[in-house]
């Protein structure tokens, strides 16, 4: 299956170098890492969950934001502008 992921440039470079040193592909390296992570037993919580403040917004969904379009939503988030000031 083909998919797209976003990686830090330095992390991507290190992973590609490791794959080359091991004589494998980047894809195989990522697959092996995911298999290893998924095979680990779940970590036990060592402390009580934190109480986080909850804020209610009065405006609801922001105009011009399509929550079904993850690429456009990510682009908006990366711009760093408040959603209500766009468009």
Domain boundaries, the chain: 9-39
Burial (CB count within 10 angstroms: exposed 0-12, middle 13-18, buried 19+), residue 30: middle
- End-to-end alpha-carbon separation of the chain, Å? 36
The confidence band for 65, taking pLDDT boundaries of 50, 70 and 90, is confident
Tell me what the pLDDT averaged over the chain comes to: 83
Has this prediction a pTM greater than 0.75?
A: no
């Amino acid at each position: 299956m083909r998919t797209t992921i976003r990686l830090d440039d330095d992390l991507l470079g290190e992973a590609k170098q490791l794959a080359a040193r091991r004589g494998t592909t980047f894809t195989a390296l990522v697959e092996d890492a995911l298999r290893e992570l998924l095979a680990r037993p779940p970590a036990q919580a060592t402390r009580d969950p934190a109480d986080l403040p909850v804020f209610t917004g009065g405006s609801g969904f922001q105009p011009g934001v399509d929550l079904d379009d993850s690429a456009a939503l990510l682009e908006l988030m990366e711009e760093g502008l408040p959603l209500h000031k766009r468009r």
